[in-house]
């Protein structure tokens, strides 16, 4: 695996629309263990890219030195404890593109916040603190939180994963010749461990870069040859990463978030309500036939409005208002689903009198096989009932079976009856009502659910539908 040159030399990285569109803002998160330097890295990016105002800099400076983590640790509890609790978003831009950064917390207790941030990210920068590892050992072990966050980013289909090996400057003292070269050895061993882990877990790594968030090495400006690395800086890499492409090739699917009645006219030649929401898959356009889930009624799209109420076509990932050609019963939480073209049947001599296959809507199902990232303090156990949120629709869900639990250290699938907090496993769910789900590998929206505890109303688990 050639990880250090894949971004800089890729011929596909053109500045055009599509998956490699550099004109759109790149939404990326920083994640990893506590004190790996995530907030400091963001502060360094903002400071060295000259995205910080003088008064902001003055507020976080003491004795002429800026506390870089203070740019993102906005909660008083975060500043007091020196950790990140909530996801802090910052916007900045360079001459090349715009960025939205999500500073995800590193503590296991706040894994749910990290999952929330990763679910909509175009890229993830997983920080690795070199000083916490036995870097002298070529067969060193990575920290559990490094493994967990990397696996979660992979499960959540974050398109680009960058490993940034931080604090290597702490290993090498230029004034002591006997210590020179420690950082190079450490980076070589840590990079080998990351590549081995990524290969075993099936994680596509964009690149691995050595950095010093504190001193700025390889963050905005490349430090040529430092730690034996001669590739682009982290910011150079981020400027070339693709945004997440919208699922426009899939059949139209639209979760209704809000219903607006815009006319009291007696004219019923078309519907008198606008159904607002964000297009999950496909394209919203006039003439599209749809089937309403769960009622099963059918209709045709008569109008499509954008966010400014301007008529037009709206693609997946954008908000739209849909007016149907007639009055049908549609409420918040319902889905408008396009018919799915039937698969072509194999031609045989016995098919001469077979019925012509007709288009059907996405087949709803009550039974779901899924991977779950469990985030509640109360363990997941078979038999328990939760609220499941699919789009904007709430249904009751019972855990039929815990199939296995993933050991994040060995990546082995172990038999288990329960899933404790911050674990990843495979489960089977039985829903009270059917939903139209697709594998998460095909659709981020139709393939994901959130489980909520019925008593405490806490978000308990992120569910990703398997194929």
Using CB atoms within 10 Å of the CB of residue 345, give its burial: 0 to 12 exposed, 13 to 18 middle, 19+ buried: exposed
Higher pLDDT, 352 or 142: 142
List, for residues 337-355, the tens digit of each pLDDT value.
998 665 555 444 444 444 4
Say if residue 107's pLDDT is above 70.
no
Question: Where does residue 84 fall: left (phi above 0), alpha (psi -120 to 50 degrees), or beta otherwise?
Answer: beta
What structural domains and CATH numbers belong to the chain? 26-240 (3.40.50.300), 253-337 (2.40.30.10), 364-465 (2.40.30.10)
List, for residues 196-247, the tens digit of each pLDDT value.
999 999 999 999 999 999 999 999 999 988 999 999 999 999 999 999 888 8
Nearest CA to 88 among 68, 76, 104, 108? 104
Q: Map residue 262 onto helix, strand or coil.
A: coil
Residue holding tokens 């329960």? 418
Amino acid 120: pLDDT: 83
Amino acid 344: pLDDT: 54
List, for residues 410-435, the tens digit of each pLDDT value.
888 999 999 998 889 999 999 999 99
List, for residues 46-101, the tens digit of each pLDDT value.
888 887 767 777 776 666 676 777 666 554 455 555 555 556 678 888 888 899 98
Nearest CA to 334 among 295, 284, 283, 278? 295
Say if residue 357's pLDDT is above 50.
no
CB 424 within 8 A of CB 150: no
pLDDT (average), residues 376-398: 95
Higher pLDDT, 335 or 352: 335
Q: Map residue 274 onto helix, strand or coil.
A: strand
What 8-state DSSP symbol labels residue 68? G
Amino acid 20: pLDDT: 45
pTM for this model (two decimals):
0.77
Nearest CA to 164 among 258, 233, 101? 233
List, for residues 437-465, the tens digit of each pLDDT value.
999 988 989 999 999 999 999 889 999 99
């Amino acid at each position: 695996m050639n990880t250090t040159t894949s971004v800089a030399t890729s011929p596909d990285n053109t500045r055009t629309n599509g998956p490699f569109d550099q004109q759109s803002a790149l939404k990326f998160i920083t994640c990893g263990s506590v004190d790996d330097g995530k907030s400091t890295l963001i502060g360094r990016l903002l400071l060295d890219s000259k995205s910080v105002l003088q008064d902001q800099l003055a507020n976080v400076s003491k004795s002429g030195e800026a506390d870089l983590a203070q740019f993102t640790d906005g909660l008083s509890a975060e500043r007091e404890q020196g950790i990140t609790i909530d996801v802090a978003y910052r916007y900045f831009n360079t001459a090349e593109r715009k960025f939205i950064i999500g500073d995800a917390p590193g503590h296991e207790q706040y894994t749910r916040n990290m999952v929330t941030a990763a679910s909509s990210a175009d890229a993830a920068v997983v920080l690795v603190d070199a000083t916490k590892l036995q870097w002298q050992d070529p067969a060193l072990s990575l920290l559990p939180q490094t493994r967990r966050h990397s696996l979660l980013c992979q499960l959540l289909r974050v398109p680009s994963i960058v490993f940034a090996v931080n604090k290597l400057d702490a290993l090498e003292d230029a004034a002591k010749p006997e210590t020179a070269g420690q950082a190079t050895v450490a980076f070589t061993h840590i990079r080998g461990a990351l590549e081995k882990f990524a290969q075993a877990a099936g994680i596509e790594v964009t690149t691995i870069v050595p950095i010093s968030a504190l001193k700025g090495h390889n963050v905005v400006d490349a430090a040529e040859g430092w730690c034996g690395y001669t590739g682009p800086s982290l910011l150079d890499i981020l400027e070339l990463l693709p945004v997440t492409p919208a699922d426009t090739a899939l059949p139209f699917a639209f979760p209704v978030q809000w219903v607006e009645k815009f006319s009291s006219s007696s004219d019923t030649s078309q519907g008198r309500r606008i159904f607002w929401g964000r297009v999950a898959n496909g394209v919203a356009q006039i003439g599209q036939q749809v089937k309403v889930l769960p009622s099963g009624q059918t209709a045709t799209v008569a109008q499509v409005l954008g966010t400014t109420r301007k008529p037009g076509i709206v693609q997946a990932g954008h908000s739209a208002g849909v007016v149907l050609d007639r009055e049908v019963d549609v409420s918040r939480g319902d889905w408008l689903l396009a018919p799915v073209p039937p698969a072509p049947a194999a031609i045989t001599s016995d098919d001469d009198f077979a019925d012509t296959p007709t288009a059907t809507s996405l087949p709803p199902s009550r039974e779901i096989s899924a991977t779950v990232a469990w985030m509640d303090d109360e363990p997941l156990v078979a038999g328990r009932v939760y609220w499941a949120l699919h789009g904007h629709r709430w249904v009751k869900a019972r855990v039929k079976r815990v199939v296995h639990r993933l050991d994040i250290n060995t990546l082995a699938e172990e038999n288990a009856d329960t899933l404790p907090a911050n674990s990843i496993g495979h489960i089977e769910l039985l829903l009270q009502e059917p939903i139209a789900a697709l594998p998460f590998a095909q659709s981020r929206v139709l393939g994901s659910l959130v489980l909520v505890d019925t008593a405490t109303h806490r978000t308990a688990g992120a569910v990703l539908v398997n194929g």
